[in-house]
A = this chain, B = another copy of it.
Amino acid sequence: MDRAPTIRDVASLAKVHAATASRALNPRTRDKVSPRTVQRVVEAARTLGYAPNSAARSLRTRTSSVAGVIIPDLRNPMFPPIVRGIEDGLAEAGYMALLGNTDDDADRERELVATMRGRQTDGFILATSHRGGIPLDGTVPVVLVNRRTDVGDTPSVTADGPAGVYALVRLLHELGHRRIGHLAGPRDVSTGWDRYRAFQDAMASYDLTGPVEFCDFFTEESGRLATARLLDATPDLTAIVASNDLIALGCYDVMNQRGLRCPEDISVTGFNEMPFVDKQRPSLTTVRIPLYDLGLESARLLLDRIANPSGPAKSVVLPTQVIQRESVARPSRR
């Protein structure tokens, strides 16, 4: 278990000075070295199996080729595809991801950011969900994925949720539904809030208004509670637009408990196609969000920000797609 070769070992094998070896090995400075020397150094590096010590490099250059990725909880099925996209995007530039889960705890988030900054993270991708400010002071590049802040000075990559909501409401309207309710997401989460507003707008465009109940969280349990309130307040609904799939599944549960059939009695739609919702009973109509691409684009945007920190704070919006399944049908007389 002898020590790993350093650049001095490479240099002495190539019979040059360490500085020259460094220049020869770095693509950016390679043109300042004669081709023959480059050749010798590269050869020496290969035979020794040299790999640069990234700690030393980080210390010297103040960069690490590592990005911090902070999400609420990897077990939420939204995030694995996003994170995978992020990693693939970062890998395109030789970057790696340092992953942290906050469990939606703002203190934990601040703590993670601090720890990661101590680890020389070159930038952050935040997928945490609150609409409030971000725990960063603008001295380090940040990209938001699947969320925006209200003050729009942070680059973000989001899906066009409102367009998806419009499409769902249009679908239900075309099927003949007029009494449509909404199970909204938390008010302080940008995606939930955007969908709520889009729902109101879409309904208004058909000269309708619909009852709304807000969920405290994007969970089945919150969905159950809100569904109960919604059905108690407005028993004659024929369709329910849920702010995401988990809430829709909670809605399924309450409907089952109450002996209401889907879609015969009430049509239900979700949002954010989750794995296996096509195999639910009934299979769930939902909106597919290009999660992997959201991650991929956010990584590219971050790399762009790192390379060019003072550029404009671009935002990227990706299209969504309605996936119609068994959970919606024409309303029946009730």
Q: Report which A residues bind B (CB closer than 8 A).
A: 1, 4, 49, 51-56, 58-59, 64, 66, 73-75, 77, 79-81, 83-84, 87-88, 96-101, 114-120, 139, 249, 252, 274-277, 279-281
Contacts and interface: CB of A to CB of B under 8 A. Distances in A.
A87 B59 contact: no
Contacts of A116: 96
Nearest to A68: B96
A80 B53 CA distance: 30
Contacts of A119: 54-55, 66, 96
B77 A73 contact: no
Contacts of A249: 276, 279
A18 to B, nearest CB: 16
A64 B75 contact: no
6 contacts: A4-B117, A51-B117, A53-B120, A55-B56, A66-B119, A98-B98
Nearest to A1: B139
Contacts of A96: 98-100, 115-116, 119
Nearest to A81: B75
Contacts of A276: 249, 274-277, 279-280
A87 B83 CA distance: 15
A53 B48 CA distance: 29
A87 B72 CA distance: 13
A84 B79 CA distance: 12
Contacts of A100: 87, 96
Q: What 9 A-B pairs have minimum CB-CB distances, sorted nearest first?
A: A55-B58, A51-B118, A55-B59, A54-B119, A74-B80, A1-B139, A281-B281, A276-B276, A74-B84
Contacts of A120: 53-55
A48 to B, nearest CB: 13
Which of A77, A274, A277 has the most C-beta atoms of chain B within 10 angstroms of its own C-beta?
A: A77
A55 B73 CA distance: 27
A101 B80 CA distance: 11
Contacts of A84: 73-75, 101
Nearest to A57: B55
A79 B83 CA distance: 12
Nearest to A60: B55
Contacts of A97: 98-99
Nearest to A58: B55
A101 B53 CA distance: 22
Nearest to A114: B51
Nearest to A292: B75
A83 B274 CA distance: 19
Contact of A99 (B54, B59, B99): B99
Contacts of A277: 276
Contacts of A74: 74, 80-81, 83-84, 87
Contact of A280 (B64, B75, B279): B279
